[in-house]
Amino acid sequence: MGPQPLGPQDPQVIGPYELLARLGSGGMGRVYLARPSGGEGPAVAVKVVDADYARGRDYRPRFRAEVTAAGAVSSPYVAALVAADAEAEPPWLAVEFVRGVALRELVEQCGALPETAARRLGAGLAEALAAIHTAGLAHRDLTPANVLLTSDGPRVIDFGIARAAGAPQLTRTGAVIGTPGYLAPEAAAGFRAGPAGDLYALGAVLYYAATGHGPHLGPPHRSRPGTFGGRLHRLSGHGGPDLRAVPAGLRPVLRDLLSRDPLDRPLARAVRRRLLPEEPGAQEALDYLPTWLPAAMRTVLASQLRAAEGYLQPPERARSGLGRAFSQFGGALTGAARAADPARPAPPVLPAPTPAPTPATLSRRGLLLTGAAVTVAAGALGWAALSRPARPSLPSPPPQLPWLWVHSTDITADKEPQFATSTEDGMLLYSSDDQLIAVRGTSGVTAWSFRLPDTQFSDPVVTGPLTLALAGDTVYCFNTADGSQNWTQGQLSTSLGPVVPQTLIMANDYAVYGGGPVQPAAGPPTRYAWFALSLGNHSVKWVIDEEIIATSMIFASDSAYRGQTQTGALVFASDRSGYVVVRDPLHGVELWHFPATSAADPATSPVKRTSWIVPDIDQFYLPIGQDELTLQALAAVDGSELWQAPLPLGAAGPWAPPAPYRGLVLTTCGPSLLYAYDASNGTQRWSCALPGPPAAAPSLVVNDSLFVPGVSGHLYRVDLRRRRVDGVFAPDSRFGIGWRLSTDKALLYARLGRSFYALAVPS
């Protein structure tokens, strides 16, 4: 059934969209064909949530979760989300409109697919599931009704119950979410079914496409009446499906997909290779699905597409290029159906469709996500999003990077949260107001929290299984896994008076290092102390103080430190004294120091940011100069200069701290450039253009990717092996002034303002 005229009870406008026709209704709302109210822009399908559901206490958070899940997937075989507003009355979401027919409807009207067509269908669906699973999600309801056949391939839709694969179980035994006949045995029994459950459903969908009926219910004339519970019982019962009705070439892969043991099911990309091996023309066959569909199915598909044409015609005064493209597109596809009927005249040859423009960014409430999958339940005829990108003659822009979860803080103080990450326990640790909070990296859910007795704190630091935090003048040591407290230490002193810890610098296997002013018996502090506390018994290993030269009493991260090298040298970059001091971490003894100025002109060319000194295996990198920046490398053992490399654009643009990577040192400089220098001699090896200007903030290397903060709230991911930007992350950037990045090697954690985002990291 195609689009239907709007009824008297249907709204005329939802959000920024003018409704044109009703496409159908699903379990929780209605779906409309719509276009932007101004008449310009691509057609969309708008899903409007019924008021009864929207009033539910838990519905809006779940709706937001659905939108978040949709934003985590990008594939040409899944449907693309354009916008959503979870706070509207009623809530709604919009996806790019594409005309297609549900697999269920085509099979019901035309019968089963031949083996060749079923293989190509399955290969496209396997690609879709691979993208979904790579994003850390599971679909959980893949059925013939949720697979659309369009002019250029299959689409997976209906992400209404998609969830993170590692998220808490949404159901319990006896409360099963899914469709009988396509549930994996473990899901039918009420247990968690993640990506392996989707692969079982893929096998069931392919069985249906190749036979005309599901693997457990039999053909219509042999079906036995039964209850929902009885069907679930048969699904989770003993024995495997009867594959005798399946074409012989499909039986091996279906036997593996429909295995009762989730561990025996193949991965999605392996299924794609088995169904459609890499060979010349294989991918092209995927891209033009109607050429291998049976003629009867192409006729049904063309008929359904023509049904929408009248609704898509904009007013003559504002007829858009997209409307013309839809007309041309529909005529071309109709020709495929007419080819099966020689009595019909062939249509004229028409130019290729104009690619749809990229939707503009909406407000924070009207969340914009692209390249994603989302629910559009429209009855027997599924209407979804066209996520197939146009084939441009120029390189396409880097894709949007999805986030796995977002964790927003409830900070009331006028400050941004400080944080660290644990590679051993997979935790994100941050201090907020008067609390230390641990967040699980797998889900973004708070694991534990500890209320600190003071709101003055510095960044927490993590080493092995321990987390160190500073509140007031006391250092706290916790077990990262569960938040249990190991020890506290608040009694540090020198011969001149007690030390007031003000910053924690770092921790290694045996000590935590920090600093703070020495408080004399009378008058303001005149000295600053550095200290090391034993992790084993929290005893003071050493305390060393130095004179405060600057009149400013700011003791923050600029006061000292960037890290520790393989040689063990600990860096203290002291802006107050004008020197960078390198100490032995075991005893605090000074190894060497150098003035924080350029040797060429010490009076006028100070180091631009001494807190940006970056350690490598056996050397340090730092910027020198003021008007013309130069990257300098120093030997960690004695401070001798190894090389200098003038930065091509000097100080003409933002300059960020360097990042070591496999014998290279990377830095951003100028309007939109990334440079790679040879770490052994400072020779420039290559450069890479960025989509936008980088921020003056540290980048982060994770595996073979470099994450570069941008000045406009964007985060760029650079593939260092291919030397190109391969992704952009762009959340709402109105809150917070810049990125801070960290990693546990499994995920990237990015803080912008008061929100933390987790992003997948390429292996």
More confident site: 382 or 195: 195
Q: Is 331 in the same domain as 408?
A: no
Q: Rounding to the nearest 10 degrees, give the CA dihedral for residues 104, 109, 110, 113.
A: 10
- Distance CA(2)–CA(382), nearest Å, equals 10
- Distance CA(208)–CA(118), nearest Å, equals 10
Check whether 109 has a pLDDT greater than 60. yes
Tell me which of 308, 338, 368 is where a domain ends: 338
More confident site: 441 or 179: 441
Residue with tokens 């708008």: 46
The per-residue DSSP string of 100-124 comes to -EEHHHHHHHH-PPPHHHHHHHHHH
HSE-CB for 362 with a 13 A CA cutoff: 19
For residue 441, which of 184, 672, 651, 743 has the smallest C-alpha distance?
Answer: 743
List beta partners, residue 451. 435
Whole domain around residue 184: which residue ranges?
13-338
Helix axes 195-211, 103-110, angle to 10 degrees: 20
List beta partners, residue 437. 430, 449
CA of residue 734 relative to chain centroid, distance: 19
Domain assignment of residue 542, yes or no: yes
287 given a catalytic annotation: no
CATH number for 471: 2.130.10.10
For residue 65, which of 410, 274, 371, 374 has the smallest C-alpha distance?
Answer: 374
Instruction: Specify the pLDDT at position 81.
Output: 74
Q: Is 405 in the same domain as 333?
A: no
| Contact assessment for residue 621 and residue 614, using Cβ atoms and an 8 Å cutoff | yes
Q: How many CB atoms lie within 10 A of CB 146?
A: 27
Domain assignment of residue 377, yes or no: no
Instruction: Specify the pLDDT at position 538.
Output: 85
Q: What is the pLDDT of residues 400-440, one digit of tens each?
A: 888 889 888 866 555 567 778 877 778 899 887 778 899 99
Task: Name the strand (E) or helix (H) holding 262.
Answer: none
Domain assignment of residue 371, yes or no: no
Tokens of 208: 């249906």
Check whether 326 has a pLDDT greater than 90. no
Domain assignment of residue 554, yes or no: no
Q: Is 318 in the same domain as 418?
A: no
| Contact assessment for residue 569 and residue 600, using Cβ atoms and an 8 Å cutoff | no
Contacts of 257 (CB under 8 A, 6+ apart): 199, 200, 202, 203, 206, 265, 266, 271
Cβ-based burial of 636 (10 A; exposed 0-12, middle 13-18, buried ≥19): buried
Q: How many CB atoms lie within 10 A of CB 598?
A: 21
Q: Is 305 in the same domain as 410?
A: no
Residue 151 φ then ψ, to 5°:
-70, -20
- Distance CA(274)–CA(130), nearest Å, equals 14
> What mean pLDDT do residues 378-397 have?
36
Give this prediction's pTM.
Answer: 0.49
Instruction: Specify the pLDDT at position 17.
Output: 92
Q: Which amino acid is at 343?
A: A
More confident site: 331 or 50: 50
Instruction: Specify the pLDDT at position 625.
Output: 66
Q: Is 334 in the same domain as 405?
A: no
For 392-431, b/e burial (b = at least 16 CB within 10 A) is eeeeeebebbbbbbbbebebeeeebbbbbbbeebbbbbbb
- Distance CA(743)–CA(65), nearest Å, equals 24
Check whether 513 has a pLDDT greater than 70. yes
Q: What is the pLDDT of residues 694-750, one digit of tens each?
A: 887 889 999 899 999 987 778 999 999 999 999 999 875 444 457 889 888 888 999
Contacts of 467 (CB under 8 A, 6+ apart): 420, 422, 427, 429, 436, 438, 460, 461, 477, 478, 479, 480
> What mean pLDDT do residues 490-511 have?
78
Instruction: Give me the numbers of helices (H) and strands (E) for the chain, helices first please.
Output: 13, 44
Q: Rounding to the nearest 10 degrees, give the CA dihedral for residues 721, 726, 731, 734.
A: 80
- Distance CA(264)–CA(203), nearest Å, equals 13
Domain assignment of residue 704, yes or no: yes
Domain assignment of residue 51, yes or no: yes
Q: Is 763 in the same domain as 671?
A: yes
Count of residues in the chain: 763
CATH number for 188: 1.10.510.10
- Distance CA(490)–CA(488), nearest Å, equals 7
Q: Is 425 in the same domain as 527?
A: yes
Task: Please pick, among 85, 141, 425, 473, the residue that the annotation labels catalytic.
Answer: 141
Tell me which of 514, 547, 580 is where a domain ends: 547
HSE-CB for 410 with a 13 A CA cutoff: 5
Q: Is 665 in the same domain as 541?
A: no
Q: Is 330 in the same domain as 418?
A: no
Check whether 360 has a pLDDT greater than 60. no
Q: Is 310 in the same domain as 415?
A: no
What is the overall mean pLDDT for the chain? 71
Instruction: Specify the pLDDT at position 68.
Output: 66
| Contact assessment for residue 44 and residue 95, using Cβ atoms and an 8 Å cutoff | yes
Contacts of 557 (CB under 8 A, 6+ apart): 458, 459, 503, 611
The pLDDT confidence band at residue 617, using thresholds 50, 70 and 90, is confident
Tell me which of 547, 564, 590 is where a domain ends: 547
Domain assignment of residue 356, yes or no: no
Q: Is 172 in the same domain as 244?
A: yes
Domain assignment of residue 388, yes or no: no
Q: Is 47 annotated as a binding residue?
A: yes
Number of domains in the chain: 3
The listed range with the strongest mean pLDDT (84-98, 612-626, 696-710) is: 696-710
Check whether 211 has a pLDDT greater than 90. yes
Check whether 286 has a pLDDT greater than 60. no
Q: Is 333 in the same domain as 421?
A: no
> What mean pLDDT do residues 278-290 have?
42
